[in-house]
Structure 1
Amino acid sequence: MAFSNNHTLISRGTKVVGDLHFTGDLQIEGTVEGNIIADSGNDAKLVVAEKGSVEGEIRVPMVIINGNVTGNVFSSKHVELAAKAVVEGNVHYQLIEMIKGAQVNGSLVYSGAGSTKKLSSPESAEESGADVKAVANT
């Protein structure tokens, strides 16, 4: 997928402390300690690169993770968990793709179009899913 003209990069060696609101595309190769929220539209995309890490909640329509995330992930469109992804938290998704090697230590919660679950409800993980430790090794 090509990045739009509205692209933000948190480079290696950079640490952001506090909530991060963005539009367009955000690529994290450094560290973010805070929540990441897409401000407008359904076209926002977050990429957490292999060396990138996030400690906080993620609320973005399209998420690609290949680094470490400690916190819940809420996606209204698509989540891709790449081979080196490690998520310590619940993943709320409409479409999910897990590549061999990806790890999720938490619940996988389907929030599709026909689902009654809302992405804004933090309790939905407890209501709908059993705890999952998924490791795609096969």
Structure 2
Amino acid sequence: MFGKKAQPPIKSLIARGTRIEGNVKFSEGLRVDGEAFGDITATTEETSLLVISEAAIVEGGVTADHVIINGTVRGPVHARELLELQPKARIEGDVSYVALEMHQGAVISGQLRPLMVNAAEGDEKPLLKLAAKNA
């Protein structure tokens, strides 16, 4: 289910020094290096990837299939598949995910809410992967 499948290409960038005010909708891939004040939401037509870099600040909710965070998010985070929290990730809000990879140093101020993959089966548990400390 969470094997190595091809990541969608990052076709959009909110560059460092750029400030976006308002909601953003994107398809495929988006990288945020600047500031975004509003919700960032991936469309559901295609597999989506959202990368929030170390310098980025997002004040609003984020939603995508695969979410990678190494910056600051002040709002709810919803990963429809995989959420990766890098060492400098800071989240102030509730987090929902199917699979979670969290590196040492990442901080969440909110509730973790695992999503069931197949709610009809009821037996499927969310995947939780602990990242190994790099030597």
What corresponds to 2:123 in structure 1? none
Question: How far did residue 24 of structure 1 move?
Answer: 1.0
Identity of aligned pairs, percent? 35
- Name the count of aligned residue pairs: 117
Structure 1 residues 115 and 53: CA distance shift in structure 2, 3 A: farther
Q: Deviations over 1:9-37 (max 9, x none)?
A: 11100000000000011000000000011
What residue ranges of structure 1 are gaps of 5+ in the alignment?
A: 117-135
User: Where does 1:1-138 land on structure 2 (aligned, <5 Å)?
Assistant: 4=9, 7-115=11-119
Root-mean-square deviation (CA, aligned residues, Å) is 1.9
Structure-2 separation of matches of 1:101 and 1:115: 32
Question: How far did residue 59 of structure 1 move?
Answer: 1.4
Structure-1 separation of matches of 2:62 and 2:80: 11
Letter in 2 for 1:28: V
Structure 1 residues 29 and 111: CA distance shift in structure 2, 3 A: same
What residue ranges of structure 2 are gaps of 5+ in the alignment?
A: 1-5, 121-130
TM-score after normalising by structure 1: 0.79
Letter in 2 for 1:108: L
More strand by share: 2
